[in-house]
């Protein structure tokens, strides 16, 4: 079984709400065996276009775990706060 990843491309709109959201996400990840791999700010666009300045990468043990986490009541409860805090494109990938 290969790992799966959630990648978020983010533009923060309200830093205080974003900080609150970020502080609550880890407890939603733990039951799914997920771990934060990388969080950062873009320093350059080397090719193409990117509308967002921040990124987050989270590793899950499987695509099923990604789907379980995203549809969990714990994470779904955070979506309104996320939408107030930031514009985000959230993508799921599986290792090839």
- Residue-wise pLDDT tens digits, 32-87: 999 999 999 999 999 999 999 999 999 999 999 999 999 999 999 999 999 999 99
Instruction: Give the rounded percent of residues in the chain with a pLDDT score beyond 70.
Output: 99
- Residue 96 is predicted with a pLDDT of 85
Phi and psi angles of residue 70, each rounded to the nearest 5 degrees, phi first: -60, -40
Q: How many CB atoms lie within 10 A of CB 56?
A: 18
How would residue 1 be classed by pLDDT, with cut points 50, 70 and 90? low
Output the average pLDDT for the chain. 96
Helix boundaries (H) for the chain:
15-29, 63-71, 73-76, 79-85
Whether domain 4-94 has CATH 3.20.20.70: the reply is: no
């Amino acid at each position: 079984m290969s790992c799966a990843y959630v990648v978020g491309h983010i533009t923060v709109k309200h830093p205080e709400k974003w900080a609150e959201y970020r502080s609550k996400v880890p407890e939603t990840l733990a039951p799914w065996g997920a771990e934060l791999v990388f969080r950062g700010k873009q320093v350059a666009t080397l090719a193409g276009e990117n509308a967002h300045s921040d990124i987050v990468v989270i590793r899950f043990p499987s695509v099923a775990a990604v789907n379980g986490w995203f549809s969990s009541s714990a994470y779904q409860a955070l979506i309104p706060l996320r939408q107030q805090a930031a514009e985000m494109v959230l993508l799921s990938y599986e290792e090839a």
